Amino acid sequence: MRVVIVGAGIAGLCTAAGLESLGADVILLERAPEVRGGGSGLSLFGNGLRALGSLGLRGVVPDPPGVSPTVSGTRRADGTWLSRFSAEALADLRVVRRGDLHEALLDGLGSGVEVRTGTGVREVGARGVVLDDGTSIDGCDLIVGADGLRSRVRPAVTEDPGVSYSGYVAWRAITARPVELDGAGESMGRGQRFGIAPLPDGHVYWFATADHPRDAVPGGIDEVRQRFSRWHRSVGKVLDATDPDAVGVLPIEELARPLRSFADGRRVLVGDAAHAMTPNLGQGANQAMEDAATLTALLARPGAGVEEALREYDRLRRPRTQRIARRAAAIGRVGQWRSAPVVWLRDTAMKVVPDAVADAQMRRVQDWQPPMR
């Protein structure tokens, strides 16, 4: 089977590894001059780990040397706990450096995958692609769009709804040194949130969100310090341990509308190209891994044709990913509420609801198994 995958992010690399394991000849195209992860930290949950296991990639995420005793949940800006997760609900959580994961996935590819960097796609046909330099790759049995939020492949598969701005930006970084914490998770204020996730080596991946006009350019760590200067002590400790040059900031965007289909003929979408969502559930990469595992399992079934497998992929993946995307967007809207009375009601409701409810919701998102081959 001759396969072209457009995009060498996590979705593309996982899909390439899975299809290579089936004996496919894979051409992996990346527009950037080199394949690299970038970004800062990444949360992997039980569903993502099971997807990696199905793809034979579980080893790219080594188990930490021990389980962190840090309490995790949701707090007010002053540090008052609103809800806490049980250790069981987060037993499968692994926080990793995005760049390390990307490098491990790339190193795991075999000789059956040809990686071409600096190669963008201009047009996508039924059985081939035209590259930016005017050359083409024809005779493809499968074309996979793994090229992210602004996918070039998506318009060839279905109506492209475009991109929607959520109304807030996110700063992200990993501390330059280990930090001793009194708790992890997310703290919420008025139109602002701060998240803390310890890595196995004691360094901390953190993110901060704030409402921001689309046309205004957000500042760096100085703006973060100013916005969160009166928050609880762990926030200041994490920021003090951060190299200002390590802080990145991006607008939080998602697909403007859910797609009508993830597949057409022999063309299929995976990852953000199919279901770009806000990061409020930490499921973006996990869902991309599920996509790759599902696609691989369906194509591995004896006697399954490519188009039949893609129709089944669409049937399985679209409802789940779009449901998770809706929930992530809703959580983000609630988390960014600004009105003092409404924020008080939100916080009070979170404090009253039993922690077991949050545990159940966390487990429900992770409740996924790869299809049988």
> Which amino acid would we find at residue 53?
G
Supply the pLDDT for residue 65: 64
What are the respective helix, strand and coil percentages of the chain, to the nearest 5? Answer: 35, 25, 40
CA distance 209 to 168: 7
Instruction: Label residue 229 exposed, middle or buried (CB < 10 Å: 0-12, 13-18, 19+).
Output: exposed
Q: pLDDT over 90 for what percent of the chain?
A: 93
Instruction: Give residue-wise pLDDT tens across range 207-229.
Output: 999 999 999 999 999 999 999 99
pLDDT tops 60 at residue 69: no
What's the whole-number mean pLDDT along residues 148-164? Answer: 97
Backbone angles phi, psi at 168, to 5 degrees: -140, 160
CA 147 to chain centre: 13
What's the whole-number mean pLDDT along residues 288-298? Answer: 98
Instruction: Label residue 230 exposed, middle or buried (CB < 10 Å: 0-12, 13-18, 19+).
Output: exposed
pLDDT band at 66; cut points 50, 70, 90: low
The CATH T-level fold of domain 2-65+110-164+255-336+356-366 is FAD/NAD(P)-binding domain (3.50.50)
CA distance 109 to 126: 26
Domain boundaries, the chain: 2-65+110-164+255-336+356-366
Supply the pLDDT for residue 63: 83
